[in-house]
Amino acid sequence: MQLIFDFPLNPHYGFDNFVVCDGNRAAFQFASRLASDDATENLLYIHGPEGSGKTHLLKAVAQALGGREGLEETPYFSFRQIDDLYAGEFVAETASRLAERFRGAPALLVDDLHLIPDEESVRVELWQVFNDFYTSGRKIVITGLYPPKDLPAIDDHLVSRLLWGLVAKLDVSDDDSRRMIMKKLAEDRQFVLPADVIDFLLLRIPRDIPSLLAALRLLERHALASGRKVSVKLAKEALQL
């Protein structure tokens, strides 16, 4: 049965449109290398704050691997969707729902590991699936907010195993990175975002990536509705600043 959190191979989240900067270059290179045909590493853990690009890289890996396997969709799971998979029933005696989710998959792709519930049965399922993929040499990419040693509700043996592979931090906290990301996102949405508007946004709204993305969406809608170009004046109106 196909679950709602399968995601199609969406070229919008490929390696070619990932904005590479100093703070995410290592993660980008590791993910690209793991997704290649001649990869020598099969395990990658990516961590960083919300909106830094973790899911984008995970989907880029899915696109690259799924495309070679001829798959229309690549099995994937985010612990944000834990209720969709378990419906609140964490029963140790039942068949592993994670194992079923990834049966026959070319890679183990898990997002938001920091949200794993503090339930022993789920931790056991994750460890078993992880170990099956690891021992069989299949690729594994996992993301989370925190470094492996700081993950809550994770057993020490899984933390140790994550540290055996590649570990990369995403950090887009500098303004140059934020400017690059906003400019690229505007280009993807086919509207011009002048440099003075970017600087205005960095001065007047929270500087985390989710807040900046929300501001861009408001600007785009306001510009389309009013038939005007994006400017500092329009930004003040749209964001009520």
Evaluate whether 235 touches 201 at the Cβ level (below 8 Å).
yes
Cβ–Cβ under 8 Å, residues 142 and 57: no
The whole-angstrom separation of Cα 148 and Cα 160 is 8
Cβ distance 241 to 233 under 8 Å? no
What pLDDT does 110 receive?
Answer: 94
- What pLDDT shows up at residue 188? 79
- State the pLDDT confidence band at 28, using cuts at 50, 70 and 90: very high
Reported confidence tier of residue 92, pLDDT bands at 50, 70, 90 = low
pLDDT digits (tens, 9 = 90+) for 185-208: 888 788 889 999 999 999 998 888
The most confident of 14-23, 80-89, 120-129, 161-170, by mean pLDDT = 161-170
* The pLDDT of residue 87 is above 80: no
pLDDT for 91 equals 58
Q: Is pLDDT at 9 greater than 60 in this prediction?
A: no
Calculate mean pLDDT across residues 76-91: 76
pLDDT tens sequence across 99-140: 888 888 889 999 999 999 888 888 888 999 999 999 999 999
Give the model confidence (pLDDT) of 134-190 as tens digits: 999 999 999 999 999 999 888 888 999 999 999 999 988 788 888 988 888 888 788
- The confidence band for 88, taking pLDDT boundaries of 50, 70 and 90, is low
**Res 10: pLDDT:** 52
Domains of the chain in start order, with CATH, are 7-169 (3.40.50.300), 175-239 (1.10.8)
| Contact (CB, 8 A) for 126 and 158 | yes
Which residues have a Cβ under 8 Å from the Cβ of 63 and sit 6 or more positions away?
A: 9, 10, 11, 13, 14, 15, 74
Mean of pLDDT values over 77-95: 72
CB neighbour class for 127 (10 Å; exposed up to 12, middle 13-18, buried from 19)? middle
Query: What's the pLDDT score for residue 198?
Result: 92
pLDDT at residue number 73: 63
The predicted model gives 25-40 an average pLDDT of 91
DSSP 114-146: GG--S-HHHHHHHHHHHHHHHHTT-EEEEEESS
Angle at 93 between CA 88 and CA 96, to 5 degrees: 70
Closest to 75 (Cα-Cα) out of 149, 12, 141, 18: 141
pLDDT above 70 as % of the chain: 88
List own/partner pairs for 179-186 with CB under 8 A and 24 or more apart. 180/19, 180/21, 181/19, 181/21, 181/209, 181/212, 182/212, 182/216, 184/17, 184/19, 185/213, 185/216, 186/216, 186/220, 186/230
